[in-house]
């Protein structure tokens, strides 16, 4: 019985030791909650950073509807006839400029190139032979032949002199012998002149015309090889630029003819938004665009893409097409919108609906806040401002739904949708720690940020978690 009691006590002690860490953690958690709630269980003040709301003159703006289109679109075709052997693409695939996508059968053209290279080698050897002239051994033989004919000429000349003397003086030789000596001397002289000419030709080399003719034949053979190699490259069809394949027009085994479409590709960064602006707004827009150098001070536009939500994006007005639609009297305006890469895709896709705010009028005073002050995710974008509670005299966060306007030097124009709480210059907009704030929550402003700077890299201050957190606009 004593053993049983000891074993039971031992098991009880071990169980208590096993649960001791859990009990300690629970006690620490209860203490943390009690400390976080503060005296009386009240919510603590969240530490935040704020920037002053400012008023600046900004151009009047109007909203227009447009569609996102790719900046470049190409229907890639084949420049040669052939049978498709490889088809390394599919719709929606991302490809890079110069990437081989389709291969046609190349065996025939490769045989033609081999034959052309053999002909080129022959022509090169012929040109080298003509340009170099005779070999040293051949020149030495020509000089030896010259000396041989020189010796023969000397002998025949002396023999002719003796024969002539005998024939004319003593008459001891016949006319026939004299004529033979004359003939041999003349033949020897002609042989000597021919040998001299051969030596001169050997020393001077071939004629310039012969060399140029051989050079022309060699260059013609080289160009034939270049032509065939250029054709060979056309049997490999490559992507003309970075983008997405959006259409396939053939398959492995099909015979394609020169000019047939193979695939279609679009470039998506940046995207182009075309909006049709009525003619009455065109002078104001052109005036805004003419105020500065487009390369240094571009004209900006606020773009909201319906598929993304209320998050505003900044586009650049590139040009106004000076040709109106005769029925609607509207002018196409081109706006470029940077398209962020998300790994295997991009944020925007061609065909998305967009609402674009363009500066089309005179400058008017506008209320602006840093982009980081915007909180998205609800039906309307909103900002939090710090106000003093009339009862507790504490600084609390007030949520103000806003209507967004143009972006200007890193700031966004906002208009309060609450009639009893207008936004004014000098008020403090929360730019750090606003993601988890609740309306009416006490706050403690620990950092003031210049509205003209508002660096996005600054670490946010600690904030209390709350349900329904919204994402902040990225710079």
Judge whether 157 lies within some domain.
yes
The alpha carbon dihedral of 283, 320, 415, 426 has a sign of negative
Classify residue 39 by burial, with Cβ atoms within 10 Å: 0-12, 13-18, 19+.
Answer: exposed
CA dist 255 and 9 (Å) reads 89
Judge whether 262 lies within some domain.
no
Judge whether 211 lies within some domain.
yes
pLDDT of residue 27: 42
Judge whether 239 lies within some domain.
no
CA dist 89 and 77 (Å) reads 14
Task: Name the percent of the chain lying above pLDDT 90.
Answer: 40
Give the CA angle between residues 350, 351, 357 to the nearest 5°: 100
Domain carrying residue 185: 117-228
pLDDT of residue 458: 38
Distances in Å between the Cα of 409 and the Cα atoms of 52, 437, 444, 475 are: 15, 27, 28, 12
Judge whether 135 lies within some domain.
yes
Strand (E) or helix (H) holding 446: strand 443-449
How does pLDDT run across 70-97, given as a tens digit for each residue? 999 999 999 999 999 999 889 989 999 9
| pLDDT higher than threshold 80 for residue 291 | no
How does pLDDT run across 161-205, given as a tens digit for each residue? 888 888 887 667 888 888 898 999 999 999 999 988 888 877 777
pLDDT level of residue 430 (50, 70, 90 thresholds): very high
pLDDT of residue 338: 92
Mean pLDDT score, 136-152: 87
Q: What is the pTM assigned to this prediction?
A: 0.56
Judge whether 270 lies within some domain.
no
Give the CA angle between residues 8, 13, 15 to the nearest 5°: 95
The alpha carbon dihedral of 68, 406, 311, 420 has a sign of negative
Q: Which two tokens stand for residue 12?
A: 């009880």
Q: Which two tokens stand for residue 373?
A: 């002050």
How does pLDDT run across 24-44, given as a tens digit for each residue? 443 443 443 334 444 444 567
The alpha carbon dihedral of 162, 167, 172, 174 has a sign of positive
How does pLDDT run across 400-428, given as a tens digit for each residue? 999 887 766 678 888 898 888 889 888 99
Judge whether 461 lies within some domain.
no
Overall domain count for the chain: 1
How does pLDDT run across 51-61, given as a tens digit for each residue? 999 988 877 77
Residues whose CB falls within 8 Å of the CB of residue 116, separated by 6 or more in sequence, listed in order = 221, 224, 225, 228
CA dist 20 and 37 (Å) reads 26
**122: which DSSP letter?**
H
Q: Which two tokens stand for residue 199?
A: 């030596």
Q: Do the strands 100-104 and 261-278 form a parallel or antiparallel pair, or are they unpaired?
A: unpaired
pLDDT level of residue 230 (50, 70, 90 thresholds): very high
pLDDT level of residue 137 (50, 70, 90 thresholds): confident
């Amino acid at each position: 019985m004593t053993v049983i009691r000891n074993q039971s006590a031992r098991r009880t002690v071990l169980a208590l030791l096993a649960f001791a860490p859990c009990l300690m953690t629970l006690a620490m958690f209860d203490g943390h909650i009690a400390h976080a709630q503060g005296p009386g269980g009240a919510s603590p003040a969240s530490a935040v950073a704020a920037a002053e709301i400012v008023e600046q003159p900004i151009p009047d703006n109007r909203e227009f509807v447009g569609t996102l289109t790719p900046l470049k679109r190409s229907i890639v075709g084949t420049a040669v006839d052939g049978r498709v052997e490889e088809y390394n693409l599919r719709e929606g695939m991302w490809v890079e400029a110069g990437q081989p996508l389709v291969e046609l059968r190349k065996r025939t053209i490769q045989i033609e190139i081999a034959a052309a290279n053999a002909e080129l080698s022959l022509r090169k050897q012929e040109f080298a032979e003509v340009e170099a002239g005779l070999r040293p051994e051949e020149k030495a033989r020509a000089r030896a032949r010259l000396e041989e004919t020189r010796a023969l000429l000397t002998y025949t000349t002396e023999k002719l002199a003796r024969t002539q003397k005998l024939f004319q003086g003593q008459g001891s030789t016949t006319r026939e012998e004299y004529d033979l000596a004359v003939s041999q001397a003349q033949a020897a002289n002609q042989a000597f002149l021919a040998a001299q000419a051969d030596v001169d030709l050997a020393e001077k080399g071939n004629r310039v015309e012969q060399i140029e003719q051989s050079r022309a034949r060699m260059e013609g053979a080289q160009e034939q090889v270049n032509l065939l190699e250029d054709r060979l490259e056309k049997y490999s069809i490559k992507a003309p630029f970075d983008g997405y394949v959006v259409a396939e027009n053939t398959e492995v085994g099909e015979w394609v003819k020169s000019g047939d479409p193979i695939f279609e590709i679009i470039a998506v960064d940046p995207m182009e938004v075309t909006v049709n602006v009525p003619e009455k707004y065109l002078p104001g827009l052109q005036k805004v665009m003419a105020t500065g150098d487009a390369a240094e001070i571009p004209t900006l536009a606020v773009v909201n893409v319906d598929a993304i939500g209320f998050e505003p994006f900044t586009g650049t007005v590139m040009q106004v097409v000076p040709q109106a639609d005769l029925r609607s009297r509207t002018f196409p305006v081109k706006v470029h919108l940077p398209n962020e890469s998300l790994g295997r895709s991009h944020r925007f896709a061609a065909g998305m609906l967009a609402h674009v705010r363009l500066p089309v009028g005179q400058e008017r005073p506008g209320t602006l806040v840093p982009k980081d002050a915007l909180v998205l995710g609800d039906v309307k974008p909103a900002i939090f401002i710090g106000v003093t509670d009339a009862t507790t005299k504490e600084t609390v966060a007030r949520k103000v739904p806003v209507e967004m306007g143009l972006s200007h030097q890193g700031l966004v124009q906002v208009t309060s949708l609450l009639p009893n709480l207008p936004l004014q210059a000098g008020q403090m907009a929360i730019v750090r720690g606003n993601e988890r704030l609740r309306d009416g929550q006490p706050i403690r402003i620990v950092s003031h940020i210049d509205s003209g700077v508002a660096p996005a890299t600054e670490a946010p201050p600690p904030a209390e978690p709350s349900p329904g957190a919204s994402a902040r606009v990225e710079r």
